[in-house]
Structure 1
Amino acid sequence: MKKPLLAVGMMLLLFIAVTQSVWAFSDTKDHPNDAKISELQKLGILTGSSGGKDAFQPNGKLTYAAGISMIVKGLNLNLDGINFFKEPKVTDSFPNMKDDAWYADAFIIAAMNDLDIPRETKANAEMTREQFAHHLIQALLSKGDYAFVDMYAVLQDEKDVNPDYMGSVQKLLITGIAKLDAKHNFYPKTLITRGDAAGWLYDTISFVKDTPAQPPIVDPAPSPFFDMNLSVKPVNADVNEVTVSAQAPNPGYGIRIASISFEGDQAIIHVAPIYPEKGKFFAQVITTVKAVTYVSSSLKPVLGETGAGSPPNPGSAVSGSTGIIGSDGDSQR
C-alpha cells in the first residue's frame, strides 16, 4: 500500500514542478522584477517576447505595441459604456498602424480611454521611460480619481523631461512606483526595458487595488475664501517655498494644498478649504489662513482652481503643508 502512495506523491511533486516551470520565463531569474514579471505572466498580462515563447527578454527594449498592450490588459481598460456610430478602427486614431494587427484592439481602447498617445505613433517605435510613465499614469487616472501625496520630487535631470509628461512622472515617483537613482536622475529619454516596464505596471495594478478612488464632487459649494495670494521664498538654489494665503470668514476655516499640476514651466497650485468642525461655533472674524508647499526653482508657481473641499476630521490642522522628495530617493533597479 505504501508503494502506490509513494508513487502518487512523486507524481504530484513532478506535476507541481512541471506546472511551475510552465509559468516561469526562462530568462528572468536574475532580474530584480522577476517575481512581478512571473505574477503578471500567471495573470495572462505578459507573454514572451515573440508572442508566447518562454523568453521574456527583460533587458530588451519595449515597443509601443507591446507597451500599450501591457497597460491596457494590465489595468483592464475596455470600451464599456462607449457607443459608436460605426465600428472603430485603429487607423481612425493612428494612421501609421494596421487595422488587422494583433495590437489594434489595444490601441483603440487606449485612444478611447485618453492615454494621450500621439496620433503619428508607430507600433514598432521604442518607448522611453517618460513616455511609458505618461501613458501608464493616464491609464491609472482613467480608473478613477485618486488622491496623491502633495509632494514634488526633485530630479537632477528635470530639464530633460518633456513638460507635458512632468505631471505623470511626478505621480509615478511620489507613489513609489518608479524611483530615482542614487544621483536623483530619472533618465526620461532613456528607452525603458521590458523588465522595468513590467515592474511599474505591477506596482500600478497594486496601487489601484489598494487605493480607493475618491468619489466625484457633485455641485461643489463656492469657495469661502477671498483675497487669495501666493508668495515665493527661495529655500536653496533648487527649491522654492510657496505660501498660499487667503482671507476666511472665521478662525474655524483652514486651507490645504489639494494638488499640483504641471503645464510647461508652470507649477499650478490648487487649494481647497478645510471647513469648521461640526458642532463648534466661531466668532465671525475675518481670519488669514495659509498653506505651504515646495516646488522646483525651475518652475513658476501660479494659483489654480480652488476646490470646495470637505469638512475635516476631528483634530484637522487649520493650515496645510506638503513636502518635497528627491533628496534621499531610493536607487532605481
Structure 2
Amino acid sequence: MTQMRKPLLLLMLAAVFSLLLSSSAFAHGKDHEKNNHKPHYQGNSGITNAAAVSMIVKGLDLNINHIRFVKQPLASDYYTKVKDNASYAQDFIIARFNGLDLPKDINPSAKVSREQFAHWLFGAFSHKGDFSWIAMYVEIADAKQISSAYMNSIQKLLLSKIATLDSKQKFNPKSPVTRSAAETMINRTVKFIKENSPVYVPENPVLNNAKLTTEKVTDNISKVTVTVTVPHPGYGIEITGIQFSKGQAVIQYRAVLPNPDMMYPQMLKDISVSTYISSEFTPVLGEAQPAAPFPG
C-alpha cells in the first residue's frame, strides 16, 4: 500500500512543478510580447524636431535636386547642433532650401510644439507654389498664446482645413505635436496641393496708388484694407501673405489679371481687399507682388 502511494505522490509533485514552470513561461512570454510590440511613439507623446523635419521633407517629397552646389552641403554649414553624420542630417539640409524656417541653433532632440510644426509645414507648403486664399480671419480661443511669427501660417492652415481646432476652439500652440497629428496635417497638405494647382505668376504688376486703411473690429482684432487703382474693372486684387516682425504686420498683395475672353471698358477703377490681424501689430503696406492669372 505504501509502495503505491510513493509513486503517486511523486507524479503529483511533478505535475505541480510542471504547472508552475508553464505559468512562469507564459507570463514571461506575455511580457516579452508586450515589450516587443510597444509602439515607438506613444499616442499622446510629442515628436522631436528631427522627426518633424524628416516627416515634412519626406511627406511633401522635398529635395534639392534643382540646386547646384560648389561643394557638398553639410548640415553643420547651416545648423550648430545638427551633426553631419546624423541619420536626419540630409533632411535638415533639404529643409533649409525648401521654405522651412528652421533656426540655426535648432536642437534636433527637443520636442516640437504645434505652432512650430504648423509654421514649418506651411513654409514647405508655400514653397510648392502660390495659392489663392480668401481674406478671412479664423477666431481662435487661445490666440493670445500663439507666437506672432506663427499666426499667419496657422491661419492659412486652418482656412485650408489642414489644421483644425479642438472642441473648445483652441489650437493649443504650445502643446507638443503628436506623430498622428503631424501625419494627418502632412497628408492633408499633400491632398490640398493635388487638388489646388499653384497659379502661374506673370511679371507684370498693374496696381497703382496703393493705400492701406485700418478699422477696429474688437479690442484684439483689426480689419486692414488695401485699396489700389487698376486700368479697368476686369482686374482683381488679393492678399498673398502677412509678415510679422518687430511689432509690424507687413501686408503683401498682388493683382489678379482679367478674364482674357472678356472685353472691359478702359476706365480707371479703385478696388479693395481686406484681411484681419491682431491689434497688437501695426499694419504696413508691403510691395506689390507679380500678378496672378485669371482663376478660370
TM-score, scaled to structure 1: 0.68
Q: Does the C-alpha gap of structure 1 residues 171 and 82 become closer, same or farther in structure 2, counting only changes over 3 Å?
A: same
| 3-state DSSP of counterpart to 1:244 | strand
Q: Which protein shows a greater Rg?
A: 2
Aligned to 1:220: 204
Query: Is the CA contact (8 Å cut-off) linking 1:254 and 1:290 kept in structure 2?
Result: no
The Cα offsets for residues 152-186 of structure 1, whole Å up to 9 and x where unpaired, read as 22333333222222222222111111112343322
Aligned to 2:241: 260
Question: How far off its partner does 1:261 sit?
Answer: 0.9
Q: Distance in 1 between matches of 2:61 and 2:125?
A: 10
Q: Indicate which of 273, 280, 283 corresponds to 1:298.
A: 280
The Cα offsets for residues 203-236 of structure 1, whole Å up to 9 and x where unpaired, read as 112122222111232x314x2422x332222233
| 3-state DSSP of counterpart to 1:189 | coil
| 3-state DSSP of counterpart to 1:178 | coil
Q: Distance in 2 between matches of 1:202 and 1:64?
A: 19
Question: How far off its partner does 1:124 sit?
Answer: 0.7
AA at the equivalent of 1:263:
F
Q: Where does the alignment leave 5 or more consecutive residues of structure 1 unmatched?
A: 1-25, 28-49, 315-333
| 3-state DSSP of counterpart to 1:171 | helix
The Cα offsets for residues 297-323 of structure 1, whole Å up to 9 and x where unpaired, read as 333322222345357579xxxxxxxxx
**RMSD, aligned CA:** 3.0
- Which residues in structure 2 correspond to 1:1-333 (within 5 Å)? 55-217=40-202, 219-221=203-205, 223-226=206-209, 228-250=210-232, 252-264=233-245, 265-273=247-255, 280-282=263-265, 284=267, 286-307=268-289, 309=291, 312=294
Q: Distance in 2 between matches of 1:157 and 1:262?
A: 21
AA at the equivalent of 2:237:
R
Larger helix fraction of residues: 2
Q: Distance in 2 between matches of 1:68 and 1:276?
A: 40
| 3-state DSSP of counterpart to 1:116 | coil
Q: Where does the alignment leave 5 or more consecutive residues of structure 2 unmatched?
A: 1-32
Q: Does the C-alpha gap of structure 1 residues 95 and 244 become closer, same or farther in structure 2, counting only changes over 3 Å?
A: closer
| 3-state DSSP of counterpart to 1:140 | helix
| 3-state DSSP of counterpart to 1:309 | strand
User: Aligned pairs, how many?
Assistant: 261
Q: Distance in 2 between matches of 1:307 and 1:94?
A: 31
Q: Distance in 1 between matches of 2:207 and 2:213?
A: 20
Query: Is the CA contact (8 Å cut-off) linking 1:154 and 1:296 kept in structure 2?
Result: no
My pick for the range that moved more, 163-172 or 269-278, is: 269-278
AA at the equivalent of 1:204:
T
% identity of equivalent residues:
34
Aligned to 2:4: none
